[in-house]
Structure 1
Amino acid sequence: MSTFGLVLHRGRAGELARSTVEWLRARDHEVRVLDEDAAVIGDPDLGVASDELCVGTDLVLSLGGDGTMLRAVDLAAPEDVPVLGVNLGQLGYLTEVEPSGVRVALKRFLAGSYTLEERMRLEAHVVDAEGERPSTALNEVVVEKSEMGHTVRLEVALDGRPFTSYVADGLILATPTGSTAYAFSVRGPIVDPRHRAVLMAPVAAHMLFDRSIVLRPDCEVVVRVGGDRAAGVSVDGRSVARLLPGASVRCRASDRPARLVTFGERDFHAVLREKFHLGPR
């Protein structure tokens, strides 16, 4: 018997989640869902707290789009639990299978016919008057302006040495996986997600030097809010803090990568062609 955790997109995953739970339980597997997702399935007895979902779990099944995958990875990675993504969204860049292939994918997982692809994550520490608060990201950490119509001054240090001050709308610190997310929209480089690197990309920089930089994964990046305007910090799209001038974010590669279930080697170039409609013109 195996134990499965399900993370759901509540607006799209209801029917598929219910049929998947029935299929797993009919084969004597244990199924858990988050308390807030249990109502979608209609079985509150399956609900557990977020810190219990992945303890002793064999697989986390993400039913949704890329946002649901980010939430699933955030829960699973601290326990080294692999995640299998089922695409119920539009882009589905992080997901592995379509809804019609869920049962085949689960059979292959149970038979051991799969591979694990590790993806680097970022560990970010917000440091301000309230102390130090950690977060982790699969895609990116963003420090950005909090006032419309104004820029923010962000003082960057690399490995403890001052680098430069950006006057910009914000600064993106992204993983290779996140190179096709927000960093892509500011013309950052596309990096194979199996690489390990930190991408630093300014957003609408009001200065001559506005290029993205690819840093080694163990480089420690500290972003301090300078000037007299506050900034906001988001992690994989979730707002986590408001930084007053003088506060900072310290960021580097996490020791715990995401572990994604794949079936056969993932062809990154083919994914790019499909998702971005590339090919002969």
Structure 2
Amino acid sequence: MLGAAEIRELALGLELKPTKKLGQNFVIDPNTIHRIVSAAHLNSKDLVVEIGPGLGSLTLGILAKVPKVIVVEIDPRLAELLPVTIKKHSPNGQLLVVLADAMKVTELPGEPTALVANLPYNISVPVLLTFMQRFPSLEKGLVMVQAEVAHRLAASPGSKEYGSPSLKMAWYGPARLAGNISRSVFWPIPGVDSALVYFETNANRDQSIRAEVFSAIDQAFLQRRKTLRQALGNWAGSVAEAQEILLRAGVDPSARGEQLGIESFIRIAQAK
């Protein structure tokens, strides 16, 4: 496990100054790494994909639980150093490095069953949802994100945090908060606290209607205080047609999107 001094030393050797643009905030506390890995509920059969491994502290924690990790890293300096760090601290660990922007990755060297990542704050939700869509082999995941984002991802219908990210996450499977992370465990220290979100995927979703479900969700939350009858007018073709679709789906046309769970939106998409 890497300590704070070694992480700073590795960064110094690369002449690396962590950048906000790439969301580079490295975890320097070994106890936090243990918490993250424990909360991920990994087993020895899992093939883990990690997004943004940075200097490798979380990667090493994951390799203590599983034999192989795929990492996706956008910074070529970090991607080049990571195998050296892993070989030194976890000589039996297998590491597969993908040098790429996570938003542009369409293939991985293997079919991952678990996603574990300290996601960049600025693109955490798009990256998470993109990976869930592109890699259906994923069965579970544990992500560390900005605390505010974590509460949105795990929110329930009717809560103030509930919105499009909550529903889109729920499409892939139930998500729950798995702990808070203080900003003090990072280097450099970010301006916000973080939180962990754990999820398991639902393998029974009909992927052929995902785009229609997501489109309905987006329309429902463009003006979240509108009734669904009004909010889905453009999506359905007219307010009258939206009402008919909602009635066929067994949904009250005067309800608002923030009141509905993912199963209701699935029925709405199916009724179109």
TM-score scaled by length of structure 2? 0.38
Q: Which has the higher contact order (CA 8 A, sep 6+)?
A: 1
Q: Considering fraction of residues, name the structure with more helix.
A: 2
